Amino acid sequence: MRIFIAGATGVIGRRLVPLLLAQGHQVTALSRRSQVPGAETVLGDVYDPTRLRELVAQARPDVLMHQLTDLTSRDFAANGRIRREGTRNLMDAALAAGVRRVISQSIAWAYEPGTTPADESTPLDLHSPDEYRRTTVEAVATLEEITAEAPEWVALRYGMLYGPETWYTKNGLMATSPLPTGPDVTSFLHIEDAAHAAAAALTWPSGPVNIVDDEPLAASVWAPAFAASVGAPPPQPADSPRTPWARGATNGRARNLGWRPAHPTFLDT
Ligand SMILES: NC(=O)c1ccc[n+]([C@@H]2O[C@H](COP(=O)([O-])OP(=O)(O)OC[C@H]3O[C@@H](n4cnc5c(N)ncnc54)[C@H](OP(=O)(O)O)[C@@H]3O)[C@@H](O)[C@H]2O)c1
C-alpha cells in the first residue's frame, strides 16, 4: 500500500515507519523539519492546508496515518488544536485525494465516569463539569468524528504510553514530577505495542479500538513500582477520592482483531 504518515518523527511514528517499510509498504512521511529514514520525507506543516493538500495529492496514498500530537512542550491547548484543526486539514486533504482509509491516534481515557474499565461502547465524557476535562474530551471527540468521514477509518484509543523516550523514563517527566498515589486507575500501553497496533490497523474494520495493556492499575499500585524502577523516592500514600472518569479501559475488541500486547502490564517494566 501507499501510506502517508503525519507524525512520522514522534515517539510512535519513529517505531511505526520501520514496521510499515518491513511490511513492504511505500511510505511518505510528513515533517516540519526532519528527514525520515527509509521513507520519502515531505516537508510541511499541518496548519498549511494548501501545501498539505498538494503533498497528499502528490503521494496518492491508500491510507493516511494520523499520528500527530503536540506534546513536546506539554502545551495541552496546542495538542487540542492539533486534534481539531490538524485533523480537519488532514481529512480535507485526504478526501480531496480520494484516500480510502484514515487511521488516527486517539486516547483511552476520554470515557465518561464509571467504576469499571470502559469498552468502546462507553460514551465519551462530553458533559464533565470540569471545563478543562470537557475541552480535552471535546477535542478528542472532534478528532474521531472527523476521522469517521473517511470511507474506512480506525481511531486508535491509546492508553498512557510508557517505554523508551516517553514521559515514563528515568529522566522523563513522570520521574521528575510528584507522582499520584490514590485510587485513580490508568490503562498503560508500551510504546512498541502502540506502533504494532497502528500497523495492524491497516486491515481492521472501521471504528474506535482501545489499545491498552491487560492490567488497568490504580496509582497506589503503579506509582510506587514506577518510582522504584527509576530510582525516585517512593510517593507518599494519599487518602484522596477517585477521579470518577479515571477508570481504565479494556482491550477485548483489539484482541478479537488479533492484536496482543507484548507488554501485558506496566508492572513488568
Ligand atoms: N497516549 C499517550 O500517552 C501519548 C501519546 C503521544 C505522546 N505522548 C507523550 O508525549 C511526548 C511527546 O511526544 P512526541 O515525541 O511524539 O512529540 P510531539 O511534539 O507530540 O510530536 C509528534 C509528531 O507530530 C508532528 N507534528 C506536531 N506538530 C506538527 C505540525 N504543526 N505539522 C506537522 N507535524 C507536526 C511532529 O513532527 P515534526 O516535529 O517532525 O514536524 C511529530 O512527528 C512523548 O514522549 C510521550 O510520552 C503520550
% of the chain surpassing 70 pLDDT: 100
Alpha helices by DSSP H, listed for the chain, are 13-22, 49-59, 76-81, 87-96, 131-147, 191-200, 219-230, 252-256
Q: How confident is residue 238, by pLDDT bands cut at 50, 70 and 90?
A: confident
Answer whether 183's CB lies under 8 Å from 240's CB. yes
Residue 240 has what pLDDT?
Answer: 87
Identity of the amino acid at 55: L
Q: What is the mean pLDDT of residues 174-189?
A: 94
Ligand 1 lined by 7 (C-beta under 6 Å): yes
Looking at residue 268, its pLDDT comes to 87
**Mutation probe of ligand 1 site: the residue of 4, 68, 85, 88 with most atoms within 8 A of C-beta:** 68
Q: For residue 159, what pLDDT is reported?
A: 98
Cβ(30)–Cβ(4) below 8 Å: yes
Nearest-atom index, ligand 1, CA of 47? 31
Summarised one tens digit per residue, pLDDT across range 142-154 is 999 999 999 999 9
Q: Do the strands 185-186 and 63-66 form a parallel or antiparallel pair, or are they unpaired? A: unpaired
Please tell me the predicted confidence (pLDDT) of residue 75.
87
CA atoms within 13 A on the CB side of 262: 9
Asked whether the predicted pLDDT for residue 269 surpasses 80, the reply is no
Please give the grid coordinates belonging to residue 187. Answer: 490503562
DSSP-derived pairing of the beta strands 185-186 and 217-218: antiparallel
pLDDT tens readout for residues 44-85: 999 999 999 999 999 999 999 999 999 988 888 999 999 999
**Whole-number pLDDT of residue 214:** 98
pLDDT for the residue 74: 84
Helix spans in 125-218 (H):
131-147, 191-200
Going by CA atoms, what residue is nearest to atom 4 of ligand 1? 161
Average pLDDT over residues 129-156: 97
- Mean pLDDT for 18-28 is 98
| All structural domains of the chain | 2-161+190-213+249-262 (3.40.50.720)
Is 90 exceeded by the pLDDT of residue 266?
Answer: yes
98: confidence class by pLDDT, cuts 50, 70, 90: very high
User: Residue 168 pLDDT more than 90?
Assistant: yes
C-beta 160 within 6 A of ligand 1: yes
Q: What is the pLDDT of residues 36-51, one digit of tens each?
A: 999 999 999 999 999 9
